[in-house]
Amino acid sequence: MARKVRNHPVPRDKMSENKLSEQTPKVKTHDFSVALYIRLSKEDSGKNNQNTVENQKALLEDFVKDKPDMKVVDIYIDNGFSGTNFERPAFQKMMEDAKQGKINCIIVKDLSRFGRSYLEAGNYLEKIFPFLNIRFISVTDHFDTFAVISSEDGRGVANGIEIPLKNIINEVYAKDISRKVGSAIEIQKREGRYGGGVAPYGYKKSSTVKGKYEVDEEAAEVVRYIFRLRSEGYGYCSIVKILNEKGIKSPSAYRYEKGIVRNEKGSNVLWKIYAIEDMLRDEVYLGNMVRGKTHSAMHKGEKRHYVPRSEWVIVPGTHEPIVSKELFEAVQAVNEKKAQEYKDNLEKAKENPKRDNLFKGKIFCGDCGITMGGAVGNYNSMSYYCPNYRENGAMGCVKKHISARKLEKAVLEAVQIHLKIFLEGREEIRSRNGSAEIGKRRMVLESETRDLRQKEAQYQQKLSSTYLDYKDKLLTVQEYFMLKNKYQAALAELEVARKEKELLLNKMRETYGEDLELSHAAEQYFGQMVVTKDMVDALIERIEVFEKGRIHIIFRFEDEYRSLLEKRADMEQEGAN
């Protein structure tokens, strides 16, 4: 059975965009924080048509400009993204803002800009947007979820029953395009022609034969040099360092310099390990066209995925090789040997007692700011290093590393000193301010705040359950809105009460110089003789490592810590006077 449409569009009936504006119901007590959403697919990019980003933006801004109850908060643009799924960065950012209450109205040019998947689009229109109280408008489709015309039974009917049909048409259109494009690509593969885009580094597009490569001698010489280094046993890191220190431009920087690509982001990119690794395994340098390493087929419901080598399409001899077969095979032998050595080392490492990476996500290079890598082994050999220097040499950063043993010792010492000073200051302030009575008042406020939070959660659950009951037709529309308004009113009262309690708690903390979270952490970890992951997460924001093992620890609660010391100093000054 087809699903009912519960978001109700205005009937089209030759209605123009202006008529939609006129018939949109006026909301008396609700101003709308508007998100304008724009999407352009790769296929439409560069075409001179009505779906360009500029045209969509102009149409949406024109629609909103005469609406006094609407204010545009942000414009979200997904340029070059398919409408067949909703994993688009701008769309996801928009939904996050919707969940946080920053926007409560989304406007698109038409439903195809919103999405071409019938099921997913329907899920947003029928479930997610109503749950989040989001108004949705599709301008050229004359669709507005606030445009509901009541029927005789008072339940309301949608005059835009064509909306699900239009979503289905959009999905069928996308699948048809997918099928046709897939067929064209298969023909290209079998004929040994490349599928567009930039040519592999070392080649350029043929100036005479479409779909063929020609050798770019300047870059090809670098490719041969890389293959020779690998055949002599150099590791990927060593090759990257050599190339960067010699000032040889990476593929991205080379293409930008030659005008092949125009994105300035690539102009300063250095050589990376993954680029070397991919190059040294690519049969394109033997003169073979290799296609089909990944595959997707929207018309079959297949998302992009990697394909086993046995299913690749390899057409030999489609263009001039850059390296000889002998050199290529010698490099593959080195690759296999080093891969086996790596596996053997992993097996040996498993036999040694390991240490957890206590500082994962907390330790950074003090010079370039990159997260430092941890060479995880046994306790005595574990250390942290700057990946930028390790991969790019002096071109990337300054050489530095620190052993796990030394770092843990320094962190433990700094933490214990930090906590000792805090606890001494806290006790002195407590003793001067009658800590017993203050503690009792604080505990009562904390308990009341927790109770209010629990009640809020209960009403949120009731609100969700009410909506689900309405969707399952267990409630009439009148019953649903009556309960919804009741629960929302209760939530509003609870929120006001909770915020009042939290304000009192914050004032108490400011007055008496005590942060509860910091106090609890200090009591838990003061006197502890070893560093633990929980301790690091609770007390440390980040650790910066510099040359010669110098470290800078940035603690969490630094403002609270500083505030307590200032209050202690003020009290001592008052006592002296």
Q: What is the CATH number of the domain that holds 145?
A: 3.40.50.1390
Task: Based on the fold, state whether residues 168 and 21 are members of the same structural domain.
Answer: yes
pLDDT of residue 102: 92
Q: pTM value?
A: 0.44
Task: Based on the fold, state whether residues 26 and 129 are members of the same structural domain.
Answer: yes
Contact 555, 569 (CB under 8 A): no
DSSP 86-105: S--HHHHHHHHHHHTTS-SE
In one letter, which amino acid is 529? M
pLDDT of residue 474: 84
Question: What is the spatial distance between Cα 474 and Cα 470, in angstroms, rounded to a whole number?
Answer: 6
pLDDT along the chain (577 residues), means of 10: 41 42 45 92 60 87 89 92 82 91 92 74 80 88 66 38 47 49 47 65 85 89 96 90 90 90 80 90 87 52 62 77 94 91 74 69 89 64 81 79 87 87 74 63 84 89 82 82 89 92 77 64 83 89 88 83 70 57
Domain interval for residue 136: 17-172
**Any domain includes 368:** no
**Any domain includes 472:** yes
Question: What is the spatial distance between Cα 574 and Cα 201, in angstroms, rounded to a whole number?
Answer: 73
Question: What is the spatial distance between Cα 173 and Cα 477, in angstroms, rounded to a whole number?
Answer: 35
Q: How many other CB atoms are there within 10 angstroms of residue 71's CB atom?
A: 13
Task: Based on the fold, state whether residues 73 and 124 are members of the same structural domain.
Answer: yes
Which structure tokens are listed for 449?
Answer: 């705040």
Q: At 530, give phi and psi (nearest 5°).
A: -130, 150
Contact 399, 547 (CB under 8 A): yes
**Any domain includes 117:** yes
Q: At 541, give phi and psi (nearest 5°).
A: -85, -50
- Residue 526 DSSP class: T
| Residues whose CB is less than 8 angstroms from the CB of residue 283 and which lie 6 or more positions away in sequence, other chains included | 290, 314, 328
CATH number for position 318? 3.90.1750.20
Write out pLDDT tens, residues 270-316: 888 889 999 999 988 998 887 666 644 443 445 655 667 666 667 78
Which structure tokens are listed for 396?
Answer: 């990337």
**Any domain includes 299:** yes
**Any domain includes 460:** yes
Write out pLDDT tens, residues 488-540: 899 999 999 999 988 887 777 666 555 567 777 878 888 888 888 889 998 89
Question: What is the spatial distance between Cα 28 and Cα 371, in angstroms, rounded to a whole number?
Answer: 52
**Any domain includes 87:** yes
pLDDT of residue 157: 36
**Any domain includes 12:** no
**Any domain includes 290:** yes
Task: Based on the fold, state whether residues 562 and 414 are members of the same structural domain.
Answer: yes
Tokens 């109770």 identify what position?
451
pLDDT of residue 2: 42
Which structure tokens are listed for 262?
Answer: 């125009």
Integer angstrom CA distances of residue 1 from 7, 115, 473:
18, 23, 15
